[in-house]
Amino acid sequence: MSDQKIAPLTQLTEDEQMLKEAAAEFADTVIKPKVHEMDEAAKLDPELIHMFFEMGFMGIEIPEKYQGGGGSFFMSIVAIEQISRVDASVGVFMDVQNTLVNNAFLRWGSDEVNGRFLPQLATEKVGAYCLSEAGSGSDAFALKCSAKEDGNHYILNGTKLWITNANEADIFLIFATIDPAAGYKGITGFIVERGMEGFSISKKENKLGIRASSTCELLLEDVRVPKANILGEVGKGYKVAIETLNEGRIGIGAQMIGIAQGAFDAAIDYTKERKQFGKAIADFQGVQFQLAEMATELEMARLLVYNAARLKEAGQPFLKEAAMAKFYSSEVAEKVSSMAIDLFGGYGYVKEYPVEKYYRDAKIGKIYEGTSNMQLQTISKIILNS
């Protein structure tokens, strides 16, 4: 038999490990003291946003020629996981920037478009990805937001809902249809900048979890967008949207395993400290079995997320694996955080302790960037047609 060792899927390269450690330290020392206050205020600390750019967390994959980090997709995933381990609100803030907005520009932007926008996204400006509408959720292409050609511009009208990073963003990737009769083939991606006349940020949602992450409605009233601000090709926005979301699912998977890890770590510490019947509750076999189950579920979810990320990075098919990763990791985040509350007992139900927040934050994983039912539909279609 060969003595050659097989590297585990969770083994990181030197660059990946360095970024993981930097993100973990930043999360523990800078973000953690702000978590409760941001959750209560339902608002990200503006100083924290500035620091994210300084640390390079907002442009991990953006090439160095555009002032980005020149890193990999997997590095983004590792960083998102570590930040979400402490606060999923901040985790999704950087997740949307890296796996949706930046990725869409990198894949579909022309040299001219990327030369204008990527340096801004890497160094100072937050991006938002704007697809959903009141009647367009899982049916992503039932868009009502319209774009009418007018010389060298398009005139955009409509509303967008559930837009993450809306309050903080300056650059909005908005999907609208140039021809409703053409169905999905009329959809086009437009780059709308804060301050354009007729564009405004409206209602901010009051959410169960990830409360510090802004989720808002956008209003577009005769917004004149230059043709130079089209991302990709006219009428091909559906490809931009769907293929970007396929990658974004892996980012949400990273967020979910971060939540699960944070809840698990808190449970481990608490069960070692909490004394009942003369000894730490971690000494009881029933508690040990619960912790073992949590650890196993978390490891399975992490392997699915890492596998999908490695496949994407290698240029291999990853659609099924990304859907599996998002579906299962969201299940695990909810389960592990719920079990953590059980282990904390009454203390787990109050805001003085961290696990109730992990539980609230976990729920969104089954909903945004494709509901669990949509992930199951994707998986079943692929396995039945393979």
Q: DSSP letters along 344-361, please?
A: HGGGGGSTTSTHHHHHHH
Residue 6 pLDDT? 67
Q: What is the pLDDT of residue 5?
A: 64
| 226-257 tens-digit pLDDT | 999 999 999 999 999 999 999 999 999 999 99
Check whether 3 has a pLDDT greater than 90: no
CA-wise closest residue to 354 among 93, 89, 48, 86: 86
Cβ(259)–Cβ(88) under 8 Å?
Answer: yes
As separate numbers, helices (DSSP H) first and strands (DSSP E) second, the chain gives 12, 10
Share above pLDDT 90 across residues of the chain, in percent, rounded to a whole number: 95
Range 152-164 average pLDDT: 98
- The pairing of strands 126-130 and 169-177 is parallel
Asked if the model's pLDDT at residue 1 lies above 50, the reply is: no
Domain 14-125 identical in fold to domain 239-385: no
Cβ atoms 225, 154 nearer than 8 A: yes
Q: What is the CA radius of gyration of the chain?
A: 21
Is the pLDDT at 88 greater than 80? The verdict is yes
Asked if 203 contacts 256 with a C-beta cutoff of 8 angstroms, the reply is no
| Whether the predicted pLDDT of 4 surpasses 70 | no
CA distance 305 to 311: 10
Q: Across all residues in the chain, what is the average pLDDT?
A: 96
The residues annotated as belonging to the active site are 369
Closest CA to 196 of 163, 165, 174, 164: 174
Given this model, what pLDDT does residue 386 score?
Answer: 86
pLDDT in tens, 345-354: 999 999 999 9
Kindly indicate the confidence band of residue 2, based on its pLDDT and cuts at 50, 70 and 90.
Answer: low
CATH of domain 14-125: 1.10.540.10
Q: What is the identity of the amino acid at 135?
A: G
Report pLDDT for 194: 98
Q: Of 213, 215, 217, nearest to 203 (Cα)?
A: 217
CATH assignment of 239-385, among 1.20.1250.20, 3.30.70.100, 1.10.3720.10, 1.20.140.10: 1.20.140.10
Give the number of residues written for the chain.
386
Domain boundaries, the chain: 14-125, 129-236, 239-385
What is the per-residue pLDDT across 269-317, written as a single tens digit (0 to 9) for each?
999 999 999 999 999 999 999 999 999 999 999 999 999 999 999 999 9
Start-to-end Cα distance in the chain:
34
Residue-wise pLDDT tens digits, 169-212: 999 999 999 999 998 999 999 999 999 999 999 999 999 999 99
CA dihedral (29, 204, 238, 303) positive or negative: positive
Task: Tell me the CATH number for domain 129-236.
Answer: 2.40.110.10
Residue-level pLDDT at 87: 98
User: Mind giving me the DSSP string for 305-342?
Assistant: HHHHHHHHHTT---HHHHHHHHHHHHHHHHHHHHHHHH
Q: How far is CA 385 from CA 308, 319, 320, 378, in A?
A: 20, 13, 12, 11
